[in-house]
Chains A and B, each alone.
Chain A
Amino acid sequence: MAERGGERGGFGRGFGRGDRGDRGGRGDRGRGDRRGGRRGAKRDEEEKWVPVTKLGRLVKDGKIKSLEQIYLFSLPIKEHQIVEFFLGSALKDEVMKIMPVQKQTRAGQRTRFKAFVVVGDNNGHVGLGVKCSKEVATAIRGAIILAKLSVIPVRRGYWGNKIGKPHTVPCKVTGKCGSVTVRLVPAPRGSGIVAARVPKKVLQFAGIEDVFTSSRGSTKTLGNFVKATFECLLKTYGFLTPDLWRETRFSKSPFQEFTDFLAKPHKISVVEDVEKTPVY
């Protein structure tokens, strides 16, 4: 490795840099010419995950047994790789729309692109993300991240006989957002998803095959059908149905031994025996 940095007489530059005007020693990467960057090389989308949160580190280390443990204690999942770690990276993404958005500025019009992305594994997890950016690719990438961050678990059940895989919501659930109320009702096999376009897409990606929906309220003023639909889906796990009527036991939080984490208030959304949760 040739020693560059003439004005430094051969001494390395280390981390010294800041404004682009300082680009004198651009070729000099200091010791450890470790990589030549990745320009032109194959983009490795499935890069090794380096967690940025404590929960992420615990999951990667195998200290957390299941995703349900995390949901049970309403611990915020800030890294989508946590969900994928347990699901085996089955989250698929799809661009729903790219919408150009224009803003009047004194210099004319500024066009940006708004990307809508839905993610889901068709097996109980779905998320929706929106991102606006001046470049389409950036908007898409940003929307994917936001969608993955918004993933919720969706519980499915049967309309009638418990034959085959669960295909509908486990019971009637109602969700509200502002003055808008949405109701999801179990439907027999073959009914399909009877819902407006966007909620239908969300339900599909969640792995729901049949469901009836009804809604009331107005979107134009206060309220939001899509959000209300998400509220419904969240409630599918909040419902204690007959098949779960067994002795419930408080199970140990992943961090319970450790007082620091306990000190933070945790919402308990579902109280059930995690190990005995029916596996569909």
Chain B
Amino acid sequence: MGNLKDVDDEAEFSNGIADLHIDGSRGHTEAEAGDDDEEAENLLVGLGFVQPVEDSEKWKVERQHFPSKVGGCPAWLDPINIPTGEQSTCGICDSPLEFLLQVYAPIDDIDDAFHRSLFVFVCPNASCLEQDRHHQSKKPEENPRRCVKVFRSQLLRKNSYYSYTPPSGEDDLPISEGAALCTWCGIWKGHKACAACKQTKYCSRSHQVEHWRGSHAVYCRQVQAARKEGKMDVNIPVCSPGPVSDKLWPEMELVVDEEDNYEVDELSDPNANVPASDKTKSKAQLLLEDYERRREAGEEFTAADLEDVHEASQDMQLWAAFLAKIGKAPDQVLRYCRSPAAKPLWLSLNGQPENSGIPSCSHCGSRRIFEFQVLPQLLNFLDFKDEANSLDWGTIAVYTCERSCGEGVGKGYAEEFAWVQPPPE
């Protein structure tokens, strides 16, 4: 099945009247969306899926286990030189950014990148994301103010934070302590402290205020009272080490699997030695059989009948190709393919960067290449209380320094580039 013997000598359907929708798209005019499959055959795509973490397994997402995860707080790779100041805040509304996900993505050929992680932060404000759209296409000289930021950190195998040998289990800890983090968000450095109790650390005034309104006011007064009396009462509850915020996104592990493992079996599967019962046949196969039956009974439509039925617009085809691709594993939330030849799976024609729109590495000047993209499916798992007003994206494509240079990482974290394609119209 699948070999149609009656190949009529039909000339290629030359596009005529239907092409009222062709935009001046970038490089998509000749190849159909499906043609990309041919070019991409050499590239191995890794798919990311979320997996909830049991309480008993929370150790798995701690930094000494080099996790990939979504939500909760970041498991900083370099626990000391964490991004601060402007890097940690939304360029548009100035509030501290929230942690979206991190990907552990070492590079074999680069010793410096034996351990390598990328961290993605976003501002939870949907209106900031709208404005970010204008900023992301600005050149670096124009000082774009972004609300989606990506940081890269990498370490040699031999480093001062982790053991040379891999951790074996639950009880393994990193070999050194990290910097103190904000009690409220557990993300950024806690270099400010509560003036009253002097014990609780914060990354920003806004978080201090939120914690104060939450539980800290009570605790703080208790501490102050105890101090006055000259004793630290045993009964005073220790302020929880944080993060205390209830606004963090649900913490989940991010597991990887290869896209190849999800290929839909084609019509003729040589491995399928199963009897032809309807259940094991693919939908396409069943439809084709049904078609053949009707054709034999003489009910076919002619080419002339179908002359009027034109292919959909380029934009629609691109969207359909996106759906087809992710349809193989609909719950994927991330697509990883680090290669100069790799292209993100776009959702629509608009909202793609220009060829020159990806800035070079700000630290070493080499070009940036595509590494991975965050898909909109992730939004299903973030548990928004107010879905209609919440964040929405088509995809977030992350581009990183081709050399994965050490220049920016010397100070801890190198900022990389994220391009956000808005949701399709």
| Shortest Cβ gap from B339 to chain A (Å) | 4
Taking a contact as CB atoms under 8 Å apart, the answer to whether A101 and B375 are in contact is: no
| Across-interface contacts of A8 in B (CB, < 8 A) | 106, 114
Name the B residues within 8 Å of A140 (CB-CB).
284, 287-288
- The 8 Å CB contact of B320, one of A23, A60, A142, is A142
Asked if residues A32 and B51 are in contact (CB atoms below 8 Å), the reply is yes
The CA of A113 and the CA of B8, in the complex, are separated in Å by 11
Which among B18, B106, B342 is the interface contact of A224 at CB below 8 angstroms?
B18
In the bound complex, how far is the Cα of B256 from the Cα of A32, in angstroms? 8
Of residues A12, A15, A16, A78, which shows the largest number of chain B Cβ atoms within 10 Å of its Cβ? A15
Nearest Cβ distance between residue A103 and chain B, in whole angstroms? Answer: 5
Q: Is B66 an interface residue (CB 8 A)?
A: yes
Number of B residues near A (Cβ < 8 Å) is 109
Residues of A within 8 A of B379 (CB): 54, 57
Expressed in whole angstroms, the minimum distance between the Cβ of A241 and any Cβ of chain B is 29
Whether B336 and A17, one on each chain, are in contact in the complex, defined by CB atoms closer than 8 angstroms, is yes
Q: Does chain A have a CB within 8 A of B76?
A: no
Q: Is B166 among interface residues, defined by CB-CB distance under 8 A? A: yes
Given A42-B280, A137-B2 in contact, is the A95-B312 Cβ separation under 8 Å?
A: no
Given A17-B337, A31-B67, A226-B308, answer yes or no on A102-B10 (Cβ-Cβ < 8 Å).
Answer: yes
Residues of chain A within 8 A of B260, CB atoms compared:
37
Assess the A116–B301 pair: CB atoms within 8 A: yes
B277-327 residues with Cβ-Cβ distance < 8 A to A are 279-280, 282-285, 287-288, 290-291, 300-301, 303, 305-312, 316-317, 319-321, 323-324, 326-327
Q: Does B264 contact A (CB under 8 A)?
A: yes
Known A29-B256, A38-B262, A261-B388; judge A145-B324 contact (CB<8 A).
yes
Residues of chain B lying within 8 A (CB to CB) of residue A51: 376-377, 380
CB distance from A21 to the nearest CB of B (A): 8
Which residues of B sit under 8 angstroms from A252, Cβ to Cβ?
Answer: none
Instruction: Please name all residues of chain A whose beta carbon is closer than 8 Å to the beta carbon of B283 when the two chains form the complex.
Output: 43, 45, 141, 144
B246 contacts partner chain A, Cβ-Cβ < 8 Å: no
Given A57-B387, A136-B267, answer yes or no on A198-B309 (Cβ-Cβ < 8 Å). Answer: yes
* Chain A 145-180 interface 0/1 with B at a Cβ cutoff of 8 Å (1 = within): 110011000000000000000000000000000100
Interface size of A in residues (CB-CB distance below 8 Å): 102
| B267 adjacent to A53 (CB under 8 Å) | no
Instruction: Answer yes or no: B272 CB below 8 A from chain A CBs.
Output: yes
Kindly list chain B residues whose C-beta atoms are within 8 Å of the C-beta of A144.
283-284, 287
A32-B57 Cα distance, complex, nearest whole Å: 12
Q: Which residues of A contact B126 (CB under 8 A)?
A: 260
A129 neighbours in B (Cβ, 8 Å): 312, 320
B287 CB contacts on chain A under 8 angstroms: 93-95, 117, 140, 144
- Binding-face segment, B40-48, B79-87, B197-205, B221-229: B40-48
Contact between A42 and B279, CB atoms less than 8 A apart: yes
Contact among A29, A226, A255 for B388, CB-based, below 8 A: A255
Contacts of A32 in B (CB 8 A): 51, 253, 255
Q: How far is the CB of B172 from chain A (nearest CB, A)?
A: 12
Residues of B within 8 A of A116 (CB): 301, 306, 309
When chains A and B are docked, how far (Å) is the Cα of A52 from the Cα of B345? 13
Is there contact, CB below 8 Å, between A18 and B339?
Answer: yes
Given A14-B104, A78-B319, A95-B291, verify A34-B255 contact (CB < 8 Å): yes
Inter-chain contact A34/B271, CB cutoff 8 Å? no
A100 lies within 8 A of B17 (CB): no
- In contact, B166 and A11 (Cβ under 8 angstroms): yes
Does B326 contact A52, Cβ atoms closer than 8 Å?
yes
With A48-B330, A94-B290: A17-B338 Cβ-Cβ less than 8 Å: yes
Q: Is the CB of A31 within 8 A of B43?
A: no
Is A39 an interface position by the 8 A CB rule? yes
In the assembled complex, which residues on chain A have CB atoms less than 8 Å from the CB atom of B263? Answer: 39
> Do B43 and A18 have beta carbons less than 8 Å apart?
yes
The winner among B166, B260, B327 for most chain A CB atoms within 10 A is B166
Question: Does B34 sit within 8 A of A, measured CB to CB?
Answer: yes
**Within the assembled complex, what's the spacing in Å between the Cα atoms of A63 and B266?**
37
Which residues of chain A come closer than 8 Å to B300, judged between CB atoms? 97
Query: Contact at A29–B257, with CB atoms within 8 Å?
Result: yes
Question: 4 smallest A-B Cβ distances: which pairs?
Answer: A37-B261, A14-B104, A32-B255, A95-B291
Q: List 8 additional contacts besides A39-B261, A198-B309; criterion CB under 8 Å.
A: A9-B157, A11-B66, A57-B387, A79-B323, A96-B301, A142-B321, A225-B308, A260-B127
27 examples of A-B residue contacts, CB within 8 angstroms: A9-B164, A11-B66, A11-B157, A14-B68, A15-B48, A15-B256, A16-B338, A22-B108, A32-B51, A43-B282, A48-B331, A50-B331, A50-B380, A54-B387, A57-B387, A78-B424, A79-B323, A99-B303, A102-B11, A102-B12, A129-B312, A129-B320, A137-B267, A140-B287, A201-B301, A227-B310, A254-B388
